[in-house]
Amino acid sequence: MTYYIRRIAFYVVTLWAAISLNFLLPRLLPGDPADIIIGKLRRASGGRPIPQEVIDAIRALLGTKDGSMWDQYLAYWGRLLHGDLGVSSSRYPVPVADLIAQALPWTIALVGTATIISFALGIIVGAWVGWRRGTWFDHLVPVTTVFQSIPYFWLALVLVAIFAVNLGLFPIVGGYDFFAFPDGPEASWAFVQSAAYHAVLPALTIVLSSVGGWLLGMRNMMVSTLSEDYIVIAEAKGLRPSRIRSRYAARNAAIPSYAGFGIALGFVVAGSIVMEQVFSYPGIGKLMIQSVQSLDYSLMQGVFLVITVAVLGANFIMDIVYGFIDPRARHDD
Amino acid sequence: MSGHTRTLAAITAASLALGLALTGCGTGDDDSGGSSAVLHVWGGNATPLDNDFNPFHIDTAQKATFGPIYEPLFFYNQLSSEPPVPLIGESFEYSEDGMALTVTIKPDQKWSDGTALTADDVAFTFTYGTNKASDLISAEATDATTVVFTYTQPQFTAAPLTLGNTFIVPEHIWSGIDDYMGQLNSEPVGSGPYTLKTFSTAAYTIEANKNFREELPAVTEVQYVGLDGNQSSQDLLATGQLDWVGQFVANPEVLTDGGVLSTLNLQQDPTVVMTCSSAALGCSGPQTDVAVRQAISAALDRGTIREKAFAGLAAEGNPAFLLLPRDQSWLADDALSQSPQDPDVATAGEILEAAGYVKDADGFYGKNGEAIDLDLFSPDGWTDYNDAAKLISEQAAEAGIKITARTVSDAEYWTPLANGDFQLALYGLTASLQSDPYSTYQQYFYGASTAEVDSEPQNGGQNYARYSNPTVDVAVVAAGATADEAVKQRAYATIQAEIARDLPYIPVVLNASQSFFNSKDFTGWPSADDLYAMPLPYSSVASGIVLRHLAPAK
């Protein structure tokens, strides 16, 4: 039990540090980001004065010249706990929290599902390839790694050109068919179908370009696990090969991959910038790139905060799961 | 010890099920979009779209805000020298001295919510928010259809801005709003031919405004979509899912060969090498010497730049910065009707040598032992600009002038321009809205429209070249204070001679603006013979005029 308590305490401290760092970073940047934002707002509003409440809100989030750091820090936490991430300067006056809330579900659903598919596929096929090492199955390794090394952008464009434009099998853009659903997302089976249909090509690019890594890692671990003594004993006991493969070899060989999976899950929230651009797919990645391009500090800070929390959360869950899967991980208590 | 296998099996089952679900629903919505009379438009916006229809957000509000939903009093067609087309307004008249302007609006108009639109709304609009001009004394509604504006200065040249680019807003809604910039105005009430029907972050639809004062548009619904790239829009055009787009396509035949799409390419806006020209205002570098600017201009092979960097789609610019043939009557000297298209290295050398420059051992000109070494930047990813900058650098080198071309991020592009912290930059000017170059000369060449280096031009001035020439300033003031064409003509002749010699902006090309539209399912588009409005879906006011002309093909 102390293992879990220790892990939880560790993550609480890390979360606090990450959020505090998010508070500090804009204040450490050269120049005053708050001044830059207020200046941008002034320009966007044709040189007119900006209401004092807006200025106060920006200062509280991004730093102010008056008031101690400690007071600012408390104000920052106060706003965060109320879910107030400020106002985007490049899309003034849209609240940052709204932008993130709109994008997050799409990213989690698509990139999350694709990451899980890619992982499952890589582990299952990797286990087979490792089990049948030296046969034609081994050709799968170079094939999948070639896909991984193709520039992602290009792969996505080729898929669109072939399957969407020439063959017309899949839609070209969007998270759903906005021609058929002009009112936006709705709670209907037809909409879910449309969204799933639109997710195929984007998901395929993500899976194609990431499955090679999982497969290669799993295959190699499988090969080295198969030379372990307990496998020889299992064989000597006369166990069925399928049982040796899945319960003895694959189970142990997969353990290092789980750690990598935890990290990959965390980065799901960062979205997939290139995929979102090519498919005009809604998601967090484009918010991140747009905010960086237009020096929109509030949006940047909001996106980074969500990503940080997600990476920590995913790692925390994987740590817990890891403790279950591999009892050795919690043995030192 | 079987927990793990079960997990794996569960994941496999889940992913299989999902895979089936994903592939299984490829049928069903094939007949979406298609034959209905909804017009699908991309106005150039990336996703996610913001639910912003605030007419005061000039840069960030959705494109349908300007023209389809909100209207100015008159429409100034920048493609013709015809008088403006009445929208809300009916006629306008200046007083003798130009200090008073009387506007009559059409009777019996309504806002899209059914409230009456009267002269009071017009008067309110001009005294509200960013619309209030600094030289306005008062705007008064003298009866239900007449508004009288009085000013501290003659307004002869302000009509395109006042009458053609100020969007009239309903007083009964905006009078209760103090923070007009902080509004999203997601349920816009306007006077235009359309009103907002539905909105999502992926697309929004406008429908015919039942309270519109004139005949309802034949295309009753228009959907604007958000796309993240030109390739996506090109693919959607090619597959018949989009009907109207304005964007650069290097090989337009690919799209128009199918017989569904038509294209128009109108060249309007000058692409220039902008120079930080005035040492007196704090610019530094060899480009502050007029001889260097003239030599660069002479060295340019504009024909090659047009062909290679702009795919042969751009047109020839002129050093008078007129839009020809529209502004032909304002051209004082025929020699200024076109910038030279072929390079003249010999002349470039003569100009520099006459100004005391000598060639060094490497073949580059310099003065006092210091070679000319100029920095030219353009925004990264604007490929036509980037290629043009490279060509300019090569062509200048031929003439012995060293120019280093580099690209910068968007954020690093605008700030140095505004602050005057640059030597040369590739830049785009905008042509004047009406057939009168006053706004071009006033915005880009007038001394009061610039600022010293390290400060930004105020009051909407865009003279980032820091060009300051007393002769030009006097002529600009003289042209602005008169309605007499002969006086204006003389003033413009002076300005044209001065700026063609001084070259604070070195003309390169007239940039292309291509539009593509579905002329099979919709009729009434502008054509080369009938350029009644700019056929670009992102073009303010003009896009609303085009929509009113369209009709579904029978």
At A274 the pLDDT is 87
Residues of chain B found within 8 Å of residue A178, distances taken between Cβ atoms: 200, 202-203, 223, 225
A153 vs B: CB within 8 A: no
Report the amino acid identity of residue B433.
L
A81 vs B: CB within 8 A: no
Cα distances (angstroms) measured from residue B271 to each of A151, B81, B274, B508: 34, 22, 9, 6
3-state secondary structure of B446: coil
Return all residues near B200 (Cβ < 8 A) that are at least 6 apart: A178, A181, A182, A183, A184, A185, B49
A192, closest residue in chain B (CA to CA)? B25
Report how far residue B361's alpha carbon sits from residue B511's, in angstroms, rounded to the nearest whole number: 38
- Total-model pTM: 0.85
Residue recorded with tokens 């004082």: B332
Chain B: give the shortest CA distance to residue A152, in Å: 16
Residues of chain B found within 8 Å of residue A249, distances taken between Cβ atoms: none
B204, closest residue in chain A (CA to CA)? A182
Strand partners, B512: B267
Residues of chain A found within 8 Å of residue B38, distances taken between Cβ atoms: 179
Return all residues near B17 (Cβ < 8 A) that are at least 6 apart: none
3-state secondary structure of B223: strand
What are residue B150's phi and psi, to 5 degrees?
Answer: -125, 145
Question: Is it the case that residue A35 has pLDDT exceeding 80?
Answer: no
| Residue A301, token pair as written in the block | 């800070």
Chain B: give the shortest CA distance to residue A47, in Å: 9
Closest partner CB to B4 (pick from A113, A170, A251): A251
Residue A312 CA to its chain's centroid (Å): 11
Report how far residue B119's alpha carbon sits from residue B125's, in angstroms, rounded to the nearest whole number: 10
Report the amino acid identity of residue B331.
L
What are residue B448's phi and psi, to 5 degrees?
Answer: -75, -10
Q: What average pLDDT does chain A have? A: 85
Report how far residue B493's alpha carbon sits from residue B503's, in angstroms, rounded to the nearest whole number: 15
Alpha helices in A29-136 (DSSP H): 33-44, 52-62, 69-81, 96-107, 113-131
Please indicate whether, in this complex, the C-beta atoms of A182 and B1 are within 8 angstroms of each other. no
Please indicate whether, in this complex, the C-beta atoms of A93 and B184 are within 8 angstroms of each other. yes
Residues of chain A found within 8 Å of residue B226, distances taken between Cβ atoms: 280
Question: Is it the case that residue A133 has pLDDT exceeding 90?
Answer: no
What are residue B89's phi and psi, to 5 degrees?
Answer: -75, 165
Chain A: give the shortest CA distance to residue B274, in Å: 22
* Burial per residue of A224-257, b for 16 or more beta-carbon CB atoms within 10 angstroms, e otherwise: ebbeeeebeebeeeeeeeeebbbbbbbbbbbbeb
A238 vs B: CB within 8 A: no
Report how far residue B377's alpha carbon sits from residue B386's, in angstroms, rounded to the nearest whole number: 8
Report how far residue A304's alpha carbon sits from residue A300's, in angstroms, rounded to the nearest whole number: 6
Please indicate whether, in this complex, the C-beta atoms of B410 and A294 are within 8 angstroms of each other. yes
Return all residues near B315 (Cβ < 8 A) that are at least 6 apart: B267, B306, B509, B510, B512
* A and B: number of Cβ contacts within 8 A: 175
CB B546 within 8 A of CB B522: no
A219 vs B: CB within 8 A: no
| B546 vs A255, residue with greater confidence | B546
Please indicate whether, in this complex, the C-beta atoms of B181 and A279 are within 8 angstroms of each other. no
At B411 the pLDDT is 64
CB B101 within 8 A of CB B93: yes
What are residue B37's phi and psi, to 5 degrees?
Answer: -90, 20
At B220 the pLDDT is 95
β strands within B153-234, DSSP E: 194-199, 203-208, 221-225
DSSP string of A236-264, one letter each residue = HTT--HHHIIIIIIIHHHTHHHHHHHHHH
What are residue A104's phi and psi, to 5 degrees?
Answer: -60, -45
Strand partners, B375: B404
| Residue B532, token pair as written in the block | 């009644």
pLDDT digits (tens, 9 = 90+) for A55-95: 776 676 665 555 677 887 888 888 888 888 888 877 878 89
- With cut-offs at 50, 70 and 90, classify the pLDDT of residue A29: low
Closest partner CB to B235 (pick from A160, A193, A251): A160
Please indicate whether, in this complex, the C-beta atoms of B29 and A196 are within 8 angstroms of each other. no
A161, closest residue in chain B (CA to CA)? B235
Closest partner CB to A177 (pick from B29, B181, B458): B29
Question: Is it the case that residue A326 has pLDDT exceeding 90?
Answer: no
Residues in chain A: 333
Please indicate whether, in this complex, the C-beta atoms of B184 and A94 are within 8 angstroms of each other. yes
Report how far residue B64's alpha carbon sits from residue A268's, in angstroms, rounded to the nearest whole number: 35
Closest partner CB to B32 (pick from A177, A290, A294): A177
| Residue A142, token pair as written in the block | 């170079």
Report how far residue B234's alpha carbon sits from residue A168's, in angstroms, rounded to the nearest whole number: 15
A176 vs B: CB within 8 A: yes
At B219 the pLDDT is 96
Please, is A32 exposed, middle or buried when counting C-beta atoms within 10 Å of its C-beta (0-12, 13-18, 19+)? middle
Report the amino acid identity of residue B89.
G
Question: Is it the case that residue A47 has pLDDT exceeding 90?
Answer: no
CB B243 within 8 A of CB B517: yes
Please indicate whether, in this complex, the C-beta atoms of B28 and A251 are within 8 angstroms of each other. no
Residues of chain B found within 8 Å of residue A29, distances taken between Cβ atoms: none
Q: For B343, what's the count of Cα atoms within 13 Å in the CB-facing half-sphere? A: 20
Closest partner CB to B130 (pick from A41, A48, A176): A48
Percent share of chain A, pLDDT over 90: 44
- pLDDT tens digits in sequence order for chain B, 554 residues long: 333 433 334 433 433 333 333 333 333 333 334 445 899 999 988 889 999 999 988 778 999 999 999 999 999 998 988 899 999 999 999 999 999 999 999 999 999 999 999 999 999 999 998 788 878 999 999 999 999 999 998 888 888 888 998 999 999 999 999 888 788 999 999 999 999 999 999 999 999 999 999 999 999 999 999 998 888 999 999 999 999 999 988 889 999 998 999 999 999 889 999 999 999 999 999 999 999 999 999 999 999 999 999 999 999 999 999 998 899 999 999 999 999 999 999 999 999 999 999 999 889 999 988 899 999 999 887 888 999 999 999 999 999 999 999 998 766 787 788 888 999 999 999 888 888 999 899 989 999 889 999 887 776 678 999 999 999 999 999 998 888 999 999 999 999 999 999 999 999 999 988 999 999 999 999 999 999 999 999 999 999 999 999 999 97
Cα distances (angstroms) measured from residue A136 to each of A128, A224, B214, B440: 11, 19, 74, 71
DSSP string of A169-233, one letter each residue = -S-SS-SS-TTT-TT---SSHHHHHHHHHHHHHHHHHHHHHHHHHHHHHHHHHHHHHHTSHHHHH
Closest partner CB to B22 (pick from A91, A161, A200): A200
